Structure formats: C-alpha cells, structure tokens
Chain A
Amino acid sequence: MSQWLTLVARNVLRHRLRTSLTLVGLVVAILAFGVLQTVVKTWYAGVDGAVPSRLLTRNAISFALPLPKSYQKRISAVEGVRRVTHLSWFGGVYKDSKNFFPQFAIDAATYLDMFPELLVPDEVRRAFLRERRGAIVGRKLANRYGFKPGDVIQLRGTIFPGNWEFLICGVFDGRDPKTDTSQLFFRWDYLNETLRVRSKAQADQVGVFAVDVVSLDSVADVSQAIDEIFRNSLAETLTETERAFQIGFVKQTEAILISIRVVSFVVIFIILAVMANTMAMTARERLREYATLKAIGFSPGYVARLILAESVLIASIGGAIGIGLTPPVAAHLAELSATLFPTLIVSVNTVMLQALAAVVVGILAAALPMRRAARVSIVNGLRALG
C-alpha cells in the first residue's frame, strides 16, 4: 500500500469512536434514503407494471361507484376490443380490521386469461372454476396468514353486508417480483348470487371493466368509443389505460409521496451536515500535521486529497453498509406492513442513487476542510494546536 493510502486508511481509524458514530449515522441515512425511495417506487409499481394494451373502464364520477354488469356485452362489441373482464373491490375484514388485504370479486375464467402475470397452477385454476365459493390467494398473503388449500376463511363485508365464507382453492405466484401477491380473488358469481338475496340493489354490478384491445394503435379510439356508448346514461364511463388509471390512483396520495421524497433527501442533507462537521473537526485538529507535510515539500493538493479520500472512504463504507442493509430491511418492512406494500424491492436505480448520495456526501463534507487545509499558511498551520 502506498504511503498516501496508508495515511488515509490509518487516519480513518484514528478516532475510532468518532468514525464509528459517523459511520452509524451514514448507514442509517443511506438505509433510510434507500428504503424511502423504495417505498415511493413501490407506490408506482402498479404504474410501471401496467400493460399498455389493457384499458380500464370505470364509473366516470368515481371508481368507488359501480357499473352495471350489463355493460360488458356492449363493451365487448366495440371494434378493436379483443376481450373484456371485470373486477370488483370487496373490502372485507378478516377477523380484525387491522388485517387489511385487497380482495376482488372477478370473473374467474376471463380475468385469469387477461392477467397472465398471476401464475395460477392448472389444478388450482380448475378447482377455482369448479368451486362457487372458491378463492385463490397470493403467495405473500398465504404466507402471512398461513392460508392453504382446503381452508375455509370468513370475511366480514364492509361494502357488501354479512359474513362471507370462502374456500381456499390454492395459491398463485407472481410472474415477476413486482407482481402483487398479497391479494385474494374470489368469484363474482358467488358475490352476485348472494347479493341478489341479501342486498338486491348491489347485485348485477361490477367495479371496473378491464378491456384487452387488439392493437396498441387503437387504444385511444377504443377508449373513446366505449365512453361514447354510455354518454348520457345513468352510469357514464371513463375509460383509460391501465397506466393512466394507476397514475390517477397514485395521484390521490401524491402529497404523501412528495413528503416521503422530501424526507429522504432531508435525511441525506442532515448526514451531510454531520459528516461536514466531523471532517471540519478532524481537519482542524490536524492542521499542524498538514502544515508539516507542506513544510517538508508536499503540495497543498496532496493535503487536500488526504482529507477528500478520508471523507469519501468513510462515506463509501457507510454507504456500502447502508446499501447492503437496504434489501433485508425493505423486505422486513414489507412483511411488517402486511399488505400495504405487497413488495418492497430495491431497484438498481435506488442502489445507484444511494451510492451517489454517499459519494456526494463524502465529497461535499470534505470541501471546506480541504480548502482550509490547502490554503492555510505553513507558518500559521505549524502554530495550530494539535
């Protein structure tokens, strides 16, 4: 190791407690930054995972309001539409209201065809189609509550009155890690038939129609055509791409997302201030050493590079540990948050942002001490107290 590197490395270890505390701060900051960025990205996961050729038709007033099931046939007849399915938000409570997870009533056969990102084993699919009270659950949900095929679970309806029993037919997985596997799907016909008895006004309605179009070029025309059909009807529709639908959904929580983003950068700014203070203190204590180095012939640049390297090295070590801890912590957070964050996967972009943040903190924290140490006169530096 060169003398320069030796000096840098040993200087890092010189005040072990101070370096350790700074490292802890850096680790926490980079970790928090990464987790918060991941949370924001996850919020947009639905947007990223949206299929361009899928349209969603909802009630024009609000997606909380239903549409008549009878619309399905008329939508299917629109030119450019390949197939149509539907899903309805159920909003039931499993045992306790804190046990939140998404539940949808679907048209089993068509829905699973149109959403190939849900990997449902053939035997599970067959059982689901066979069993009127059948339900399939995502892997994460099954793991969380220990659901297994053959279990009968009960949900208390909040939108649809009464207690609802479902028979778990099996577990589905996601095609990629971003696919939400914290959901439960059950059959809409079961919901509808029961509603005809319990709450007739809510029967024969669905939440959203999912429309698969033949060609991407016809997406705009098909959307317009669908909405045109139902103009001036009792339930006007709004048809948009799945992506636009997801963005609209996310937009409702945009203020929260912005706050999370701001907080993530505030965390970095705070650690920058802490790190800058540490480096300033370090450089001030070593002013006489730097002056000595300059006296015996080392350039101000050499001294500045010593400080910069030390700062960047500390920041990099802290950053690396923080980055390393982010995936397990995010995964743990996803577990703890139950179904609020179905997946918290740390993206490559987030890792790069974290690394960049660590390096930038290292560089900026060293800037002023470097300048001071490089510019201080040798005579004044030699007078400085060590």
Chain B
Amino acid sequence: MTVVHISEARTGEDVLIALSDVSKSYRRGAQIVPVLARLTFDIRRKEFLALMGPSGSGKSTMLNLIAGIDSPDKGSIRVGGEDITLLPEAELADWRAANVGFIFQFYNLMPVLTALENVELPLTLTSLGRRERRDRAQLALSLVGLSDRVKHLPSELSGGQQQRVAIARAIVTDPTVLVADEPTGDLDRQSAKEVLEIMQRLNRDMGKTIVMVTHDHRAAAHAKRIMSLEKGDLSYLVEQRLE
C-alpha cells in the first residue's frame, strides 16, 4: 500500500477528471459549514476509485460535484477536458445525460416502470428510436444478468436485483464515468458482492471509469484505488494504491 498526499497527484497521466482548488460549504441556518476546502486531485481514465471517509467528511459532496449535480463555491472541475462548473444548468443536465451514470444507495428506480422501462428511461433523452432503445436496454440488463426480469416492477425484485437494474440504467447510455454513492449500503453481503463484481467487470472489461463512495472496506477492496477523505483537514487527501 502506498500513501501519498494529494499534492503529489499524478501529472502527465491520462486524467479524466481533474478537481482544482475546489471548495464547498453549506449553509445551516445562519452558520456556514465548510465541507471541502481547496481540494485538488485527479481521477484517471478507466480508474475504479473508492472514496472513503467518516460521515461528514465530504465524500458524497465530492461525488456530487464530480457528477455535476452540485456546484462548488470555487475552483474548477474538468471532466474530459470540459470545465463543468462553467456550464449553465440546462447544458449541465445534457452533459450529465451524456457523460454520467448514477448508481444510488437506494437504487432510485421509478417504481411504476418495469426493469426494462427503467433502463430505457435515460435513452429517451437521446435521438434513438424506440426499437433501438429497447434493444440497448435489453443488452444492458443482460450484462447485469437480468434478462429474465425485464417485465418485473422494482417491487417484484430483490434489493440486489434492483441495484443491478440501476447499474444497467447507469451504463445504458455508455457514459464517460459511473458515480456510485454507497451502492452496497442497502444490500446483504451476497448481493453486495454480486453488485461489486459487476462494477469490477464493467471497469475491467469495458473500461468504465467508476467513482464509488463507500463506508465499507470490503466494498472498497474491489476498487483499484482508495482515497480517504479525512474529517477535520479538508484539504488533505490520503491515497492508498491497491496494486
């Protein structure tokens, strides 16, 4: 295991996501609570990064910033060379649709749509025809081993199966990066293992860049790299390489 300071971040490598001098604070009543302060680090292409840290350390905030669903108070976030902090809201939504696949802790599937319809949902934002959308959604579901569950509603699936549908939804648009916020936090050990293996496969076989927030060391062990965001010193990032 190698431990490096953030200031020692890689240069000249194939950087996909670059956070530069990023600060973020939240207002709680009259109080301003700093969460991230002047954070700088990169994520390489085809990386499977696990972000760890205690509650309130800002790891989910960092994930939200990378995913473009939250904006920093200052600093820049470049994804694939594009500074997403400069994008207006409507363009940012388009950017997310094309570049980010989301995997949430509680799956966040539309309960009234079948597994296939849930996976097809992001594709309705594209110019694809109905048949092509269906084909792609079916392919994505087969990649997560749910070809036989296409017509099931989320309520008819187990937690692990629902998370696999969510993964299929996340990858169906072939996004640049997958962001996963505690993807195994609501699953039993076996289902968690299956989900993590799928994520690992997506990273290894399909070259998907994955940024995962987790509390679980067993889950983090599936990543190629683990970063720990320490509470108290927001500008300090500890990295351990699992290689």
Which of A7, A295, A298 has most chain B Cβ within 10 Å?
Answer: A295
Complex interface: chain B residues within 8 A of A14 (CB): 111-112
User: Is B124 engaged at the interface, CB distance under 8 Å to the other chain?
Assistant: yes
B69: which of A6, A10, A378 is its contact (CB, 8 Å)?
A: A378
Q: 18 pairs across A/B with beta carbons < 8 Å?
A: A2-B124, A3-B117, A3-B121, A4-B124, A7-B112, A288-B106, A289-B108, A293-B110, A295-B96, A296-B96, A296-B121, A296-B122, A296-B169, A297-B94, A297-B98, A298-B93, A298-B125, A386-B106
Complex interface: chain A residues within 8 A of B69 (CB): 294-295, 378-379, 382
Min distance, Cβ B57 to any Cβ of chain A, angstroms: 16
Q: What is the predominant secondary structure among interface residues of chain B facing chain A?
A: helix
Bound CA span A10–B110, Å: 10
User: Is A11 engaged at the interface, CB distance under 8 Å to the other chain?
Assistant: yes
User: Is A292 engaged at the interface, CB distance under 8 Å to the other chain?
Assistant: yes
User: Is B48 engaged at the interface, CB distance under 8 Å to the other chain?
Assistant: no
Interface flags, A278-302, vs B, CB<8A=1, else 0:
0000000000110011111111000
Which of A296, A297, A379 has most chain B Cβ within 10 Å?
Answer: A297
| Contact of A296 with B102 in the complex, beta carbons under 8 Å | yes
User: Is A99 engaged at the interface, CB distance under 8 Å to the other chain?
Assistant: no
Q: Which residues of A (131-177) have their CB < 8 Å from a CB of B?
A: none
User: Is B203 engaged at the interface, CB distance under 8 Å to the other chain?
Assistant: no
Bound CA span A249–B76, Å: 79
Chain B residues with a Cβ under 8 A of chain A: 64, 67, 69-70, 90, 93-94, 96-98, 100, 102, 104, 106, 108, 110-113, 117, 120-122, 124-125, 169
Q: A6-B117, A7-B110, A289-B110 are in contact. Are A382 and B104 (CB under 8 A)?
A: yes
Of all chain A residues, the one with the shortest Cβ separation from B102 is: A295
Complex interface: chain B residues within 8 A of A378 (CB): 64, 69-70
Complex interface: chain B residues within 8 A of A13 (CB): 112
Min distance, Cβ A259 to any Cβ of chain B, angstroms: 44
Complex interface: chain B residues within 8 A of A296 (CB): 96-97, 100, 102, 121-122, 125, 169
User: Is A377 engaged at the interface, CB distance under 8 Å to the other chain?
Assistant: yes
A3: which of B64, B100, B124 is its contact (CB, 8 Å)?
A: B124
| Contact of A292 with B120 in the complex, beta carbons under 8 Å | no
Min distance, Cβ A18 to any Cβ of chain B, angstroms: 14
Min distance, Cβ B205 to any Cβ of chain A, angstroms: 23
Min distance, Cβ A298 to any Cβ of chain B, angstroms: 7
Bound CA span A379–B66, Å: 13
| Contact of A377 with B70 in the complex, beta carbons under 8 Å | yes
Complex interface: chain A residues within 8 A of B104 (CB): 292, 382
Complex interface: chain A residues within 8 A of B64 (CB): 378-379
Complex interface: chain A residues within 8 A of B67 (CB): 295
Bound CA span A4–B112, Å: 12
A297: which of B70, B96, B111, B120 is its contact (CB, 8 Å)?
A: B96
Q: A7-B112, A382-B108 are in contact. Are A292 and B102 (CB under 8 A)?
A: yes
| Contact of A3 with B93 in the complex, beta carbons under 8 Å | no
Instruction: A297-B96, A297-B122, A379-B64 are known; give 18 further A-B pairs, CB within 8 A.
Output: A2-B124, A3-B117, A4-B124, A7-B112, A7-B113, A10-B113, A11-B112, A288-B108, A292-B108, A292-B110, A294-B93, A295-B69, A296-B121, A296-B169, A297-B97, A298-B125, A379-B69, A382-B69
| Contact of B70 with A379 in the complex, beta carbons under 8 Å | yes
Q: Which residues of A (255-313) have their CB < 8 Å from a CB of B?
A: 288-289, 292-299
Bound CA span A331–B158, Å: 55
Interface flags, A367-386, vs B, CB<8A=1, else 0:
00000000001110010001
| Contact of A299 with B90 in the complex, beta carbons under 8 Å | yes
Of all chain A residues, the one with the shortest Cβ separation from B99 is: A297
Of all chain A residues, the one with the shortest Cβ separation from B110 is: A289
Of all chain A residues, the one with the shortest Cβ separation from B92 is: A297
Bound CA span A378–B69, Å: 6
Of all chain B residues, the one with the shortest Cβ separation from A377 is: B70
Ranked 5 nearest A-B pairs via Cβ? A297-B97, A10-B112, A378-B69, A292-B108, A3-B124
Q: Which residues of A (49-99) have their CB < 8 Å from a CB of B?
A: none
Bound CA span A386–B109, Å: 11
Complex interface: chain B residues within 8 A of A295 (CB): 67, 69, 96, 102
Which of A13, A288, A296, A377 has most chain B Cβ within 10 Å?
Answer: A296
A299: which of B93, B102, B122 is its contact (CB, 8 Å)?
A: B93
Bound CA span A292–B98, Å: 15
Of all chain B residues, the one with the shortest Cβ separation from A297 is: B97
Bound CA span A296–B172, Å: 11
Bound CA span A329–B168, Å: 53
Min distance, Cβ B31 to any Cβ of chain A, angstroms: 17
Complex interface: chain A residues within 8 A of B100 (CB): 296
Interface flags, A5-45, vs B, CB<8A=1, else 0:
01100110110000000000000000000000000000000
Complex interface: chain A residues within 8 A of B120 (CB): 3
Of all chain B residues, the one with the shortest Cβ separation from A3 is: B124
